[in-house]
Structure 1
């Protein structure tokens, strides 16, 4: 088929990890050069896994030898594909990126991960399920396949109607609000069966003192008025860490969050940022080799800097529910995933939420 994208073209990814990883493997199928750029932080985020893998598969990519953004993919309308090795220990998105476009490569793609544990592994399972829904044949480790190897067979994708689940990770600050205030929040359309790792919020927040149940209106989460510290391996759900850390800073006992060294490579160094900002409000957070140790202390007001990171902004909002005088610097950065967050937060607190119910 004719290329869906014709070059030359320019794409500004901002600081969106998914975009910067998922689009270059598609751009090799374009007819002409596609230049990718982003904000300064995007230049620092790991991209070598995608760049090196595409080169090994026959793509021509100019990145000035940086292994990072900015870069230009010289699309030729096709790619041979085939087997490739990559190290996805810094981002599961390296694997998902190749799987998503692999069915359009002449020989499909066989991705073999070599390196340490892959973070956020459930996200790759989500990718596999979505590809299968589109008629793509995928062999994956969790289905009895070879460990750390994913194979996509070349073939046409089937267009179909898809009901997109709500982004469960985005529920983290809203459920946290119920936990922190002893209130109740209902999220509509929460799926009873899902591959989203954000579903782990139910178990994590229940361990921290809340109660959740499915009702006719959706998933209802109720705070009990007490918040307990937690020992938790968040390797698969790293994006939940900032809000969980915020709740932990308000708990009645110490928390240890671990398995999340890869968060140092996200929108900002999330471990360092959380430690600094919570400590600046009077907290006691220390960085470990792969996580955070949080000892609750009485907190006071102050400015909570967000480093243009949407998850830090929502974490700050949660602390602000329990601590007077917390000001969130640049809350507008939440627009990356929740464009109406300030309005939604205000409506939650006043009990007039359109998408759920606050109490």
Structure 2
């Protein structure tokens, strides 16, 4: 149920000027946790994100038999033990709204000998799971669907093995359907060949991220195209090497803070921005420059300065769809219209993000049209309103950005940001040098 607590989004009374340190990447934390649980020896993860999504991943892996312990600012992961000879007692895993849990863990559950039921928050029951179910069945794994076809809840009847071979997956709705298979493919009996058969492939950087993490644990993963021009990945079975890794900061979560600099003619520096990364959030450097900001590096710090002008943008965000709410918020504050394209897959995220953004931005005064695969945003005089977040953390942070310039903007359920950034409110108020006792939840 959506909380009706309203958060008064603070207005910036001066340009922001702050050094921001964001926690570890949610996407990388999820991948490293799962790979560490599937390895043969214990691993150590430093800088891992602690949020609702990663707590749900931790709980899922522990239910399957892994041991995860926080010790000395590190997360120690003892892998899942080999499956027992006889089927274990049935398990249930609650995915919340975490796509990484609902889409990544079922394939791992096939390596468990016994039944594993997956369910989640009510909005999660509407998110597509067809490609996950289909991939499992192509691997000879029995899956029972308890609700609407291709949706949670489901039960994976694990036998303790995956056979490998060729799999065809339509990942048009989410790159997670490809990563789902790749992350566990090294544990299959035979080499695995995965072919994407959909019309489009969103968020390719996230799949590149998966392939890179596999290589870092010693697994051979190649990517090319087949004779029909379709994306194809091959994974060779092998032992997943234990790691001692530092998780990169979450560059997507840095986005709202960088946007604050653009919105207020201020300067924000984000510490430990990697030189080379597979994270989609790295695209903020180019996107914010195109919207009129000054962007530069100082060593390992990325700096963004607002120039007083926010330009509208025409951008294909298909590879970096998760950045859309932040860019849309700035587009509502811009001096010319924007068109954000290639993000039809956002309709299947925590909410239908295109519909939600169109509804809420229009309500504030920025007429926003839903396109088949994107948004057309026409800036106008904005006014305070109650901004609905639809239990979506990125809608909440988009509202906070606009609130820097628009008085009396109230955000429903700002706490949904705990999904990936547990102390967003504290960080936001600290950036503004605002007393949390004066501007907080009403």
TM-score by length of 2: 0.77
Q: 1:53 aligns with which of 119, 127, 135?
A: 135
| CA 1:315–1:164: 2 relative to 1, 3 Å | same
Asked if 1:164 is matched to 2:247, the reply is yes
Asked if 1:123 is matched to 2:206, the reply is yes
Q: How far is the alpha carbon of 1:77 from its aligned partner? A: 1.2
Cα distance in 2, alignment partners of residues 6 and 276 from structure 1: 48
Match of 2:8 in 1: none
Q: 1:178 aligns with which of 244, 261, 285?
A: 261
Q: Is the 8 A contact 1:98 1:109 kept in 2?
A: no
Gaps of 5+ in 1: 353-359
Cα distance in 2, alignment partners of residues 216 and 87 from structure 1: 41
Asked if 1:23 is matched to 2:105, the reply is yes
Cα distance in 2, alignment partners of residues 45 and 207 from structure 1: 33
Match of 1:243 in 2: 326
Cα distance in 1, alignment partners of residues 103 and 395 from structure 2: 22
SS in 2 for 1:135: coil
SS in 2 for 1:323: coil
Match of 1:355 in 2: none
Question: 1 or 2 for the larger relative contact order (CA 8 Å, sep ≥6)?
Answer: 2
Cα distance in 2, alignment partners of residues 90 and 136 from structure 1: 26
Asked if 1:327 is matched to 2:400, the reply is no
Cα distance in 1, alignment partners of residues 215 and 182 from structure 2: 11
Q: 2:126 aligns with which of 44, 47, 67?
A: 44
Asked if 1:301 is matched to 2:390, the reply is no
Q: How far is the alpha carbon of 1:231 from its aligned partner? A: 0.5
Q: Which segment is superposed worse, 101-110 or 208-217?
A: 208-217
Q: Which segment is superposed worse, 31-40 or 308-317?
A: 31-40
| CA 1:347–1:217: 2 relative to 1, 3 Å | farther
Q: 2:420 aligns with which of 331, 337, 340?
A: 337
Match of 1:356 in 2: none
Match of 1:2 in 2: 82
Match of 2:286 in 1: 203
Q: Is the 8 A contact 2:259 2:401 kept in 1?
A: yes
SS in 1 for 2:428: helix
| CA 1:20–1:47: 2 relative to 1, 3 Å | same
Q: How far is the alpha carbon of 1:239 from its aligned partner? A: 0.5
Match of 1:35 in 2: 117
Two-structure CA RMSD over aligned residues (Å) = 2.0
Q: Is the 8 A contact 2:257 2:268 kept in 1?
A: yes
Cα distance in 2, alignment partners of residues 139 and 217 from structure 1: 30
Q: Is the 8 A contact 1:234 1:260 kept in 2?
A: yes
Q: Is the 8 A contact 2:88 2:113 kept in 1?
A: yes
| CA 1:7–1:124: 2 relative to 1, 3 Å | farther
Cα distance in 2, alignment partners of residues 185 and 320 from structure 1: 17
Q: Is the 8 A contact 2:111 2:161 kept in 1?
A: yes
SS in 2 for 1:162: strand
Q: 2:361 aligns with which of 265, 278, 297?
A: 278
Cα distance in 2, alignment partners of residues 263 and 307 from structure 1: 13
Cα distance in 2, alignment partners of residues 21 and 106 from structure 1: 21
Asked if 1:103 is matched to 2:186, the reply is yes
Cα distance in 1, alignment partners of residues 316 and 186 from structure 2: 34
Q: Is the 8 A contact 1:28 1:59 kept in 2?
A: yes
Cα distance in 2, alignment partners of residues 116 and 66 from structure 1: 22
Cα distance in 1, alignment partners of residues 228 and 262 from structure 2: 41
Match of 1:151 in 2: 234
Gaps of 5+ in 2: 1-80, 436-442
Cα distance in 1, alignment partners of residues 330 and 255 from structure 2: 10
Cα distance in 2, alignment partners of residues 289 and 93 from structure 1: 21
Cα distance in 2, alignment partners of residues 190 and 159 from structure 1: 25
| CA 1:141–1:217: 2 relative to 1, 3 Å | closer
Asked if 1:74 is matched to 2:157, the reply is yes
Count of residues in correspondence between the two structures: 352
Match of 2:172 in 1: 89
Asked if 1:113 is matched to 2:193, the reply is no
